[in-house]
């Protein structure tokens, strides 16, 4: 359950990306970060969202945002996702669910009447001081970058 609110300090995190590089929140000190959580690399909705961020990555960077994706997939799966869809940003492997739990996006879900634990697709925009500026609880997968830019007024 997401208990974080806009204005809260973002929980620190550290994990390995699809290239085996260790990535931490502290790496983005002084930068605006779009930290987006998706349930599964390659799933239809998550792919649409990731590709929208990819297609608008240059614009997001021009507007002052870095992008990092997080899912419970392992680094190998993240690497395949990156290659297949030419994703230009880090994709963190959170197989231990440490990051998704810190951010409150690991929760009970329901699909076709079946209940299970999974990631709630959510995006946090974190400023250069580590403060959560904006939370998108149900991102518009086909227009997520535009949604971020509009909401942040840049």
Low-confidence ranges of the chain (pLDDT < 70): none
pLDDT for 114 equals: 87
pLDDT for 40 equals: 95
Structural domains of the chain sorted by starting position, each given as residue range(s) with its CATH number in brackets? 30-152 (3.40.30.10)
Q: Give pTM, 2 decimals.
A: 0.95
Cβ within 8 Å of residue 55, ≥6 positions away: 145
Reference 70, options 105, 45, 29; nearest CA is: 105
| The pair of three-digit structure tokens given for residue 10, joined into one six-digit string | 């973002």
Active-site amino acid positions: 46
Supply the Cα-derived Rg of the chain in whole angstroms.
14
């Amino acid at each position: 359950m997401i208990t974080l609110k806009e204005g809260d300090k973002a929980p620190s995190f550290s994990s390995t990306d699809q290239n085996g590089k260790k990535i931490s929140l502290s790496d983005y000190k002084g930068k605006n970060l779009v930290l987006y959580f998706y349930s599964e690399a390659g799933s239809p909705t998550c792919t649409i969202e990731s590709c929208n961020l990819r297609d608008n990555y240059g614009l997001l960077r021009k507007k002052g945002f870095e992008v990092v994706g997080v899912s419970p997939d392992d680094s190998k799966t993240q690497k395949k996702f990156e290659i297949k869809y030419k994703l230009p940003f880090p994709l963190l492997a959170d197989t231990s669910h440490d990051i998704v739990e810190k951010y409150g996006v690991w929760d009970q879900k329901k699909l076709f009447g079946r209940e299970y634990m999974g990631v709630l697709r959510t995006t946090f925009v974190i400023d250069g001081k580590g403060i959560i500026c904006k939370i998108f609880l149900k991102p518009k997968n086909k227009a997520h970058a535009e949604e971020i830019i509009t909401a942040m007024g840049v």
